[in-house]
Amino acid sequence: MSSRSFIAAALVVLPAWTAAAQQGQRASESLLGDPSRLTLLNVNATRVQYRGRAAIRLVGRSGGATDNTIAIVDAEFRDGTIEADVAGMPAAGADTSARGFVGIAFRVDSSGKRYAAFYLRPTNGRANDQLRRNHSTQYISEPEYPWHRLRKEQPGVYESYVDLEPGAWTPIRIEVNKGVARLFVNGSAQPVLIVNDMKNPPASGRIALWIDVGTEAHFSRLRVTPAKSVP
């Protein structure tokens, strides 16, 4: 995997504790159904039907840059819950290092260079190599803590195994609370990856749909529930 990543963003605030929850859900679906509402850098986004549902398809642009490749929506997120269905697979013609990298970035700063993210490596989930299976999920904090630094300095702490199928719709949920983040996959009751020492400060930022080079990804059913403010 390259040390930089492609990201695209789509966000709608969906306060679970208000009567506007259903309206927020509809707004979320509308946003993901209209790629013209996304600001894209070095990725192409198209509205498609994928495995029985409307989705946004993301691929990297040919010859695009390999750093600061983001699209940011003007909406804030600090703590709370992010849910989405994602599907990733190696793009046509990708090299053997491609894993179908797909995930969600959050707390993306105004420069687009600093963010935290959880992502999946779908082709690792059912690999015959156990070490590859152990690298199915990943936490990163760009730019200071990319995946290769975290793996080198604390092997196995910021990645884990989960069963994945390339190209299949995979529900994910991310829970963020100050310096702690948890990743849930496929409706699991327990997190598949827990990060108790997030590397980025607990500051507000943006949400982003995240892919890496050599990936074709689809995103659907994005929902964001900010943590309820306590007076």
- Beta sheet of 170-177, edge-to-edge order: 43-50, 53-60, 215-226, 80-90, 170-177, 180-185, 193-195
User: Which parts of 68-159 fold into alpha helices (H)?
Assistant: 130-133, 147-153
Is pLDDT above 50 for 83? yes
Is pLDDT above 90 for 32? no
- Average pLDDT in the 157-175 region? 98
106-115 per-residue burial string, b: 16 or more CB within 10 A, e: under 16: bbbbeebebb
Confidence grade of residue 27 (pLDDT, cut at 50, 70, 90): very low
Is pLDDT above 60 for 64? no
Condensed to tens digits (0 to 9), the pLDDT of residues 182-231 reads 999 999 999 999 999 999 888 999 888 999 888 999 999 988 889 986 54
What is the residue-wise DSSP string for 43-74?
A: EEEEEEEETTEEEEEEEEPTT--SSSB----S
Tell me what percent of the residues of the chain surpass a pLDDT of 90. Answer: 57
- Average pLDDT in the 29-47 region? 71
Condensed to tens digits (0 to 9), the pLDDT of residues 65-78 reads 555 444 445 457 89
Tell me what percent of the residues of the chain surpass a pLDDT of 70. Answer: 77
In degrees and rounded to multiples of 5, residue 97 shows phi and psi of -80, -10
Q: Strands, DSSP E only, in 12-52? A: 43-50
Is pLDDT above 80 for 175? yes
Domains for the chain: give ranges and CATH numbers.
Answer: 6-208 (2.60.120.560)
**Half-sphere exposure at residue 4, Cβ-oriented, CA atoms within 13 angstroms:** 12
Confidence grade of residue 9 (pLDDT, cut at 50, 70, 90): very low
